[in-house]
């Protein structure tokens, strides 16, 4: 029995960036994965993301081509190269910015993950990994979670997995969904899929809830992100880049964000 596809989209393109998952739309089907931006193109001079706040979520920044310089209001500064990671649990409020280096083609992703209430109250924390620290087995890199005997070095904020999968021409690969996961999506960003799951890049595919395995086939090669998770039962309160599970938590974090902004402006 195959697992049915319930939703497909190529997202909304805005030049260098395509919005693949929006918290108000696709994010209702994929939460705790509530947002995904796909960065793809030759960046113009000084392209990037200026100082902007987050709260109530974790952000996961990951480039498969190109590089970026990141700075946080926590004082952290880091340069990310190919398959390096910035994982930021925004908690009760944080600011960060990113400067894409304009000397090379950029292909990358920023994912937002909704946090359970206990983590929304905590101080922000970051984890930075170099590409060699990413768990890898066969066709996939394990970015978050636990799968097939591997475990990410990043402590996951929720019961979820996040993988990057690279299939060669003529290759097949099966994702054996954990028994307690019922959310599953992929974002095919390069190549094409054949067989039960057919797609041409770039496309988000959301599967019906359940934990059936899914087999992926490709004739000419395929690269995609995969996310699976236990259902996130909380309703979300969204205001810009702050996403919380209650109005009280949102109000408290927005106040904290304004306090931090003042410190940034003074600096």
pLDDT tens, position by position, 26-65: 999 999 999 999 999 887 776 667 888 999 999 999 999 9
Tell me the DSSP string of 71-101.
Answer: EETTS-EEEE-TT-EEEEE-TT-EEEEEEE-
33-46: b (≥16 Cβ within 10 Å) or e: bbbbbbbbeebeee
Mean per-residue pLDDT, 148-168: 96
Measured distance CA(113)–CA(185) in Å, rounded: 14
Give residue 14's pLDDT.
86
Name the percent of the chain lying above pLDDT 90. 78
Give residue 1's pLDDT.
61
The backbone torsions φ and ψ at residue 117, rounded to the nearest 5 degrees and listed phi first, read: -50, -40
Bridge partners of 226, per DSSP, are 163, 186
DSSP code for 236: -
How many independent structural domains does the chain possess?
1
Report the CATH number that the domain containing residue 47 is assigned in CATH.
2.60.120.10
**3 state SS of 119:** helix
Mean per-residue pLDDT, 154-167: 97
Mean per-residue pLDDT, 134-142: 96
pLDDT per residue as tens digits for the range 98-126? 777 766 788 999 999 999 999 999 999 99
End-to-end CA, the chain: 59
Give residue 217's pLDDT.
97
Measured distance CA(201)–CA(189) in Å, rounded: 5
Give residue 100's pLDDT.
79
pLDDT per residue as tens digits for the range 203-250? 999 999 999 999 999 999 999 999 999 999 999 999 999 999 999 999
**55: Cβ–Cβ under 8 A, 6 or more apart, which residues?**
90, 91, 92, 93, 94, 120, 241, 242, 243, 244, 250, 253, 254, 256, 257
Q: Please indicate, yes or no, whether the overall pTM of this predicted structure exceeds 0.85.
A: yes
Range of the domain at 9: 5-266
Asked if 181 and 154 count as a contact pair (C-beta separation under 8 A), the reply is no
Question: How crowded is residue 174: how many other Cβ atoms within 10 Å of its Cβ?
Answer: 10
Q: Does the pLDDT value for residue 267 go beyond 60?
A: no
């Amino acid at each position: 029995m195959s697992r049915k596809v319930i939703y497909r989209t190529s997202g909304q393109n805005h030049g260098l960036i395509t919005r693949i998952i929006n918290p108000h739309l696709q994010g209702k089907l994929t939460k705790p994965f509530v947002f995904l931006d796909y960065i793809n193109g030759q960046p113009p001079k000084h392209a990037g993301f200026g100082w902007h706040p987050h709260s109530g979520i974790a952000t996961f920044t990951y480039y498969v081509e190109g590089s970026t310089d990141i700075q946080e209001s926590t004082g952290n500064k880091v340069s990310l190269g190919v398959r390096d990671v910035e994982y930021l649990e925004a908690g009760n409020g944080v600011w960060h910015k990113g400067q894409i280096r304009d000397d090379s083609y950029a292909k990358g992703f920023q994912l937002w993950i909704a946090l359970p209430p206990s983590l929304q109250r905590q101080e922000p924390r970051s984890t930075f990994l170099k590409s060699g620290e990413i768990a890898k087995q066969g066709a996939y890199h394990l970015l978050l979670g636990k799968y097939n005997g591997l475990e990410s070095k990043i402590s996951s904020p929720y019961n979820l997995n996040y993988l990057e999968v690279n299939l060669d021409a003529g290759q097949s690969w099966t994702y054996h969904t954990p028994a307690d996961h019922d959310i599953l999506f992929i974002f095919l960003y390069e190549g094409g899929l054949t067989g039960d799951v057919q797609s041409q890049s770039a496309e988000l595919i959301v599967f019906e809830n359940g934990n059936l395995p899914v087999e992926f086939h490709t004739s000419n090669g395929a690269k995609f992100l995969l996310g699976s998770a236990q259902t996130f039962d909380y309703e979300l309160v969204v205001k810009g880049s702050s996403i919380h599970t209650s109005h009280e938590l949102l109000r408290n974090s927005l106040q904290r964000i304004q306090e931090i902004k003042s410190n940034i402006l003074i600096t």
